Structure formats: structure tokens, C-alpha cells
Amino acid sequence: MGDQQKMRASDRDRQQVVERLRSALEDGRLTMEEYVDRMEVAYQAATYGDLAPLCADLPASSPVIARPQTAAAATAPPSVISRAGCLAGLPAVLKALWTIWLIAVSVNVVIWALVSGTGGHLAYPWPVWVAGPYGATLFAVSAGVTLFTRSKTMADYSS
């Protein structure tokens, strides 16, 4: 057991502890100050022994820490498609670029619709030139990042 407490914790382990602390905050088991203090310690934790005391006085809703993943869980590949949303799993920079693209395209389509509506006839659909090339580029970059991340994750699980 002592050796297990000296094992290095991963970012995922730290995030699970922070999620458990957030749940305790929402349940009223921790004050905001306690939550912030424990969260800071969790993100700075290096080993399982550093993480364990942070949840020791909280009821165990589900075992989050105390042992690393079992061999069966470590070899299981991640799910192929996340249903959390089309932008889930992308870096924040790409999410921001997709948001900017969507806003720009929306503004252009509204302007085009107003021009077409007030002109009495359907104007040339010029917003396609705004949406198409930039959207295709963003899609290609997002697909590349997703494939790279997924292949890296699969390699981590297989080793």
C-alpha cells in the first residue's frame, strides 16, 4: 500500500479529484474557500499519496482515487465517437476558431438575406465564399487534430 501512495498521479487522476471536490461543494460539504484550497493542492499533486487526503473526509460516492487503473481498464480503448458534442475533445483554440467562423458566417447570411429580401430578388449567394474555404480549412485541421489525439491515446493504451 505504501508503494501505491508513492506512484505518480496523472492529469486525469487530478481532474477526477477536482470533479469530486466540485461535487462536494455543490452538495454543501465544502465551503468555497475549502474547495479552492483543495483544488489548488490537487492540481499541484504529484503522487496518489498527495491526492488521497483531499477527499479523505468526504463520503465515497464512487472510488475516484486510491489506486491506479486496473490492467483491464488500462488496455480498453477509448470510445470511438464522443456524443458530448461535435467540438468535444478539441483544443480551446480550435473551439474559439469554430465559434468565430460560425459568427462570421451567420452575420454574412443575415446580411445576404436582408439584401435579397429588400432587393425583391434572390441575390448571388456570396456567403458561400465566406463559409466554404474557411470552414473546409477548419474542418481539415480539426479532423487532423482529432485523429492525431486519438492515435496518440490508442498508442498510450496499447503500451
Cα 55 to Cα 32: distance, rounded to the nearest angstrom? 15
Per DSSP, the three-state class of 149 is helix
Q: Which residue pairs from 63-71 have beta carbons closer than 8 angstroms and sit at least 24 positions apart in sequence?
A: 64/16, 64/17, 64/19, 64/20, 65/9, 65/13, 65/16, 65/17, 67/4, 68/4, 68/7, 68/13
Asked if residue 75 has pLDDT above 70, the reply is no
Asked if residue 137 has pLDDT above 90, the reply is yes
> How many residues belong to the chain?
159
Q: Which of 17-21, 61-65, 69-73 has the lowest mean pLDDT?
A: 69-73
Beta-carbon contacts of 65 under 8 Å, excluding residues fewer than 6 positions away, are 9, 13, 16, 17, 48, 51, 52, 55
Over residues 117-140, mean pLDDT = 89
Q: Which of 88-92, 99-103, 131-135 has the lowest mean pLDDT?
A: 88-92
